[in-house]
Amino acid sequence: ERAVVRCVPSEPKLSLQFVLPDGSAKHMQRDQTEPLGRALARIATNAAKGRVKKGKKARAEGEAEEAAALPAVRLFSRDGQAVDAEVPNAAAWQEGAVLHIGEARYRVERNPPALTELRLPRSLLAGFPVCPKVSAEFAAPQHCIFRWFREERAPGGGWVEEEAAAGRVFTPGNALVGLRLKLRCTPGDGARRYGPPREVESSGPVEAGPGACTFDARHLYTGRACGTGRLRAVSYNILADAYAQTEFSRTVLYPYCAPYALELDYRQNLLKKELAGYSADLLCLQEVDKAAFTDSLAPALDAFGLEGLFKIKEKQHEGLATFFRRDKFSLLSRHDITFSEALLADPVHAVLRDKLAAYPVVQEKVLQRSSVLQVSVFQSAADPSRKICVANTHLYWHPKGGNIRLIQIAIALSHIKHIACDLYPSIPIIFCGDFNSTPSSGTYSFISSGSVAEDHKDWVSNGEEERCNMPLSHPFKLLSACGEPAYTNYVGGFQGCLDYIFIDKTALEVEQVIPLPSHQEVTTHEALPSVSHPSDHIALICDLKWK
């Protein structure tokens, strides 16, 4: 028999589970610091209680004492030595120890792999990868065993195993349309220890996919990951569910888009296939719903070798996500900020803070915004001397907010300067995001030229009462790696270039830019999003190499 012990250093108690010879299951919680003898005495009492219940008839016949006699309970180490009664529980209950309860023997399994959550997405589409959400203790998804099953078509039929599907990701074919799926997962820890399996069935059947998608042709360029000394960067505003599912979105912003194609589950199917197919090394996303990151994107992209970092906006349900390829980079440090907090509190921004104090109306507007900056420093696995600073942001959206965006980007570049000049001197930078700024804007000009004049028209973008003339500069030599496409955002009422991947041109050069979808593809269903494109923005993708 098994005695399963769960003992985590950060918790005060350990748990112990076993089944007594009479078939009753016991689940005990004991203090980790308690002497073993007291835990064994409690086990003996529990075992005796079980025997007393069974022995009620015997008690009526005058044999109560024998029924209630405490069984001998001892714990022996793996090498057969009795464990001293004074040893604390945390040290006593080791893997491979043997618990004796009377004649019964139990092998102790300490912290065996266990699944805490196993979930399938609600929406399943033929031709699109299905990635379960797997949460486990003392196990890792890459060491778990996954077995996929499909429903039999006959009414009341059972389940048939999909022999070809043996991994964490399963892409159902058209033959499975109309059938439900089942997944059986056995948790493993990589040290050849496995826990009890769990099963989960899909809530609905596999549905037909949408046919050709806008990203299919792009996948022809990105089927393989970049080689050593190169990296593929992607920046993409994926359209938060919070903004896609409102009545305003359905009737005013995206009236041309079928309502089902605005639903999160449907769009997540498209997104997971699109993002996985780009084979990115660094992936910067904007408008990422917290729940979508945790339950959908992070588990799915993890299965494709990408690890995700999330930064939520102040008082919002969405934020930024940066994913990096685990076998290419390791994370050294994170330096995320909220613009408003950093402006108020960080000495790095003292000069800007003093300048802005002269313009209280604008200052108040900047402080009200929830925009954030995500900054991560990575080290190359192939060449540990190579490090890279990756920034990701989503600036204020309002068409007349050019002055606010200039201040936000000034805060961002000062913060990045502190990291790239003070903390990691001369580290190359990549700055991705939805800057909500066209190539003719002050923000774009400031980033790419290194300065903006105090008389730039964007300082009065929202009228005279919000004028805030100030010269700004930064030390970086930044280049828009994908140039200035005609548009990266294409909705019914607006088409324009708002998204960029800025690179440090002193250290990095562009090897290739993956072409954007053709205008015909973008406008097949009038505009974006559509049944074949999950966002109102288009992903930017480029391959870079170190100089």
Q: Which residues contact 521 (CB under 8 A, 6 or more apart)?
A: 214, 217
- The CA-atom distances, in angstroms, between 88 and each of 42, 43, 80, 85, 92 are 15, 16, 18, 8, 6
For 198, the token pair is: 């769990």
> Residue 248 is encoded by which pair of tokens?
């305003």
69-92: burial string, b at 16+ Cβ within 10 Å, e else:
eebebebeeeeeeebeeeeebbeb
Q: Count Cα neighbours of 204 within 13 Å in the Cβ-side half-sphere.
A: 10
SS3 track for 529-542: CECCECCCECCEEE
Nearest to 235 by CA among 501, 56, 430: 501
Nearest alpha carbon to residue 276 among 478, 466, 534, 13: 534
Degrees, nearest 5: CA angle 515-517-521: 160
SS (H, E, C) 10-45: CCCEEEEEEECCCCCEEEEEEECCCEHHHHHHHHHH
Catalytic site positions: 434
Peptide bond connecting 21 to the previous residue in cis, omega within 30 degrees of 0: no
Whole-angstrom Cα distance, residue 333 to residue 335?
7
Of 112, 131, 35, nearest in space to 75 by CA: 35
Q: Are 386 and 231 in contact (CB under 8 A)?
A: no
Residue 349 tokens, joined: 């921004």
